[in-house]
Structure 1
């Protein structure tokens, strides 16, 4: 069972709606649909909230440490609540998936994603769940950093929003870490 849902992104208005902030965008979508709000936590160096899923509390975290230092915030929250890494689901952008395609997995490397790299370093394991939100790849020869830190097109936003709505409809399966259901129903 997932007890901590972490969305990865960068704080600040200039990053607000960028591809790299797909994790923040999904958690914000959930909070908007549930009518909740975020609280600033100095202790966890992030914004925190919680929702109820099937009668269980699901804590949520948006690290405000910038992407490359996400592990600091995540590690503090895991230790404070005495959570196991397998109770963690990290939502992040994924270049290797087309825009709006969602896949869930457990374990694995960081595949060059600096947010995942820092989390692995801080919690000393790769054994946690990941929800990969497809943002597509930039055109051949384009700068990857510029691409991930830019805003998607209107169609790209529409694809992300549709994926977020589908995920919201399957939040119980997500919280139960039902990888096959999420991948079978949501991978297009």
Structure 2
């Protein structure tokens, strides 16, 4: 059996999914410093940063059979970002900035909230674009343009029931995608 260091990322993930603690330990040793640096850069707190990294790796191990990981480094960095936000929100610590980034909302928003909002919109747009053509069009008419079921039915010359069915389908698919995306955070 080859040494654990000779495995590539996907092999390490596979072995970890199979319960191989040495693969998990190797993943931890490869990435903990970067993750700690990301957490510390946001929190400026040594102990909180250590806790965040520990929580991310605990979550990774606990969800090893459910997590869909394509790039381990990106997955873990994103997990640290969200875990950091969760910890900061729970403790009431946030960094406020005045104004807004690319939105018409007034008031104070944290940089993290603004970035999260933009990332969430981008994710939802990508997922919406994957919907079947008719389903996507109906969803965009409804949510993007604010048309009612009757207006959409009239516009597309289809029954209101078809519009409702397609909207339900779109929402079900998008909810499922969001659930998968955020399953490891909580």
With structure 1 as the length reference, what TM-score do the two structures score? 0.22
Larger Rg: 2
More contact order relative to length (CA 8 Å, sep ≥ 6): 1
Name whichever structure is richer in strand by fraction.
1
More helix by share: 2
The two structures have a TM-score, normalised by structure 2, of 0.22
